[in-house]
Structure 1
Amino acid sequence: MSKKKAAIWISLVIIMLLIGWLNFKTPSNPVWLESGTEDNTSFLSDEYFIGLNDLFEKVRDDHKKWYIVDGSSEIAARAVIVKMMQDLESNPGALTNHENSVRYFETFDRNIRKAGSITEEVHFFRNTLNSYSGAPVSLDDMITLAAEGKWKLFSAKYHRYNHEGVKGALNLKFISKDGRFEAVYNSETGEMVTDPFNMGTYNYAPGSINPLKYYKHYTFDKQPWKKWGNESGVSFEDIMSLESGHGSSEEKNNSKEIKRWIKQRKEELKLE
């Protein structure tokens, strides 16, 4: 083949790829497909997760195009997410203490990241998932879990807003060992904080100093929070309008005291 013909063929291939790319359009509010399956497989069984993999492959193959970037994996991931949401809503008690509960969270999170973006409904579904954290109601019990290494005291910068007479400066955030679940407590009341301004939420992509992990956390958790808030009816702007106690001397002293409390509990439990 002459150089001229080779150049023509290469040009045609490039043009075809460009056409394919232009045909692939990701709408600003992606369509989240109905799963379109009737699956009687027992929820959370090993077969259930095999079925989710089969669903992903089927939807991906049905939407696969000839060009390199076709969006089929994103569409398939959304179909799996919809099905998992529907299945949990139909069986809310099944996930509690189930041997495959972690597998459910791992599969859900993995498909969230494959989907590339989330809708408002999926964002608020974090609250449903966070309800399975197993976090205790009282701060004292959480201190024990933190001393045992099952939860970790974390920065509560965005959870220290004064609301309904509760001092935000005294709020504390704990994150589960795997980074998925959050729980916020107030040291003055000794109870969990659940108001939509300061509440703990589920992380689809736990934060990290690792640049890639931080980017994913910003994309799937932080950015949607800025767009939609924590609950319907309470926007990010509503949250930011409240006075924050973060950075105050009261907050700093309180945080030091809680760290001392956790250390003391470790000593009491002879964990050091």
Structure 2
Amino acid sequence: MTYPIVPVATKASFLSEAYFSELSDQYASIRSKHRKWYIFDSSKAIASHAILTHMMHDLLNNEDLLYENTNYDLFFETFDHHVKQLPYITEEIHYFRNELNQYGKAPEQLVEMIKLAACGKWQLYSSRYHRYEDSQYDAAYNVKFISSNGRFEVVYNIETGQMITDPVNMGTYNYAPGSILPWNYYQHHKYDKVPWKKWGNTNQISYKDIVKRKSRHGSTEQKRGTEELHSLIKKVSDLLCR
């Protein structure tokens, strides 16, 4: 299906309680207008796509308001909920994850992230798909952290201590955080992995061109660097977080 353009109008201030209440009312109204009385009812997807389009527009026009807002979590919960009402996501929604990932509050320096990970605010995670060769650094030393809620990702290079932001190895926002639970695993595959394979991380380089590069995952340098980082995080945890 192709999502039709459906206008959404909200009068309340962006991110206010009333704003989210209006979004809920708008969703119900759009569903009602587009509901069909047969098996292939697409009203849910049409309504959610309209809400997402409106929320994207509002955030881009009020970028600074979200950082310390009382309804910070509610914005992401609402956005992710509507993404998962879609049978598929559009290219626009896929790339918008990069806008959302900026709000993860990850520090620029690895040394600061180590402190956060030591206290459980972020978790060191597999970086298998973030270690493709790059001329600017040795990708064997790339490591990925995911926020405690599973939404935000950030990649650092152990050698440089800096955040990695290039379109080949960058971290991205998860609309449906992964899990060993079958339904969560399926949703993560559908809304995060499949779009990545279709469109890449940004429009600067395709997935096919990314995976053509040699991977440094599994190298001696990668294994040693990751093990040392695990040990360092544990040491910092013992010192600061107990």
The answer, yes or no, to whether TM exceeds 0.5 is yes
User: Which residue matches 1:257?
Assistant: 228
Q: Distance in 1 between matches of 2:39 and 2:145?
A: 43
Which residue of 210, 215, 224 maps to 2:195?
A: 224
CA contact (8 A) 1:32 1:82 kept: no
One-letter amino acid of the structure 2 residue matched with residue 86 of structure 1: H
The partner residue of 2:213 within 242, 246, 255 is: 242
- Could you list the runs of 5+ residues in structure 2 that have no partner in the other structure? none
Look up the match of 1:131: 102
- SS of residue matched to 2:156: strand
Residue 212 in structure 1 maps to residue 187 in structure 2:
no
Q: Is the 8 A contact 2:8 2:51 kept in 1?
A: no
What is the rounded CA distance, in whole Å, between the counterparts of 2:134 and 2:70 in structure 1?
38
What are the residue-to-residue correspondences of 1:45-194 with 2, within 5 Å? 45-194=16-165
| 2: CA distance, partners of 1:147 / 1:216 | 29
Q: Which moved more, 1:59-68 or 1:85-94?
A: 59-68
Indicate the SS of the match to 2:137. Answer: coil
Give the Å deviation of 1:116: 2.1
Letter in 2 for 1:188: E
Q: Quick check: 1:31 aligned with 2:12?
A: no
Aligned partners of 1:161 and 1:167 also within 8 Å: no
1:141-192 Cα shifts (integer Å, max 9, x gaps): 0000000100000000000112123111100000000000000000000010
Q: Check whether the contact 1:60–1:72 (CA below 8 A) recurs between aligned residues.
A: yes
Would the aligned equivalents of 2:8 and 2:50 in 1 still touch at CA under 8 Å?
A: no
The secondary structure found in structure 2 opposite 1:129 is: helix
Unaligned 5+ segments in structure 1 are 1-26
- TM-score scaled to structure 1, two decimals? 0.87
Q: For the residues of structure 2 that align with 1:33 and 1:52, how far apart are their CA atoms? A: 16
CA distance, structure 2, for counterparts of residue 49 and residue 60 of structure 1: 17
- Structure 2-normalised TM-score? 0.97
For 1:186 and 1:32, the matched residues in 2 are separated by: 43
What one-letter code is carried by the residue in structure 2 that aligns with 1:33?
I
Indicate the residue corresponding to 1:4 in structure 2: none
- For 1:31, what is the secondary structure of its paired residue? coil
Q: Report the alpha carbon displacement of residue 59 of structure 1 after superposing the two structures with TM.
A: 0.5
Q: Which runs of 4+ in 1 moved over 4 A?
A: none
Deviations along 1:25-74, one digit per CA (max 9) or x if unpaired, are: xx2xx22524x133231000000000110110011000011224311111
What is the letter of the counterpart of residue 156 of structure 1? S
Amino acid at match of 2:5: L
- Whole-angstrom distance in 2 between the partners of 1:160 and 1:253: 14
- For the pair shown, the structure with the greater C-alpha radius of gyration is 1
**Percent same amino acid among aligned pairs?**
48
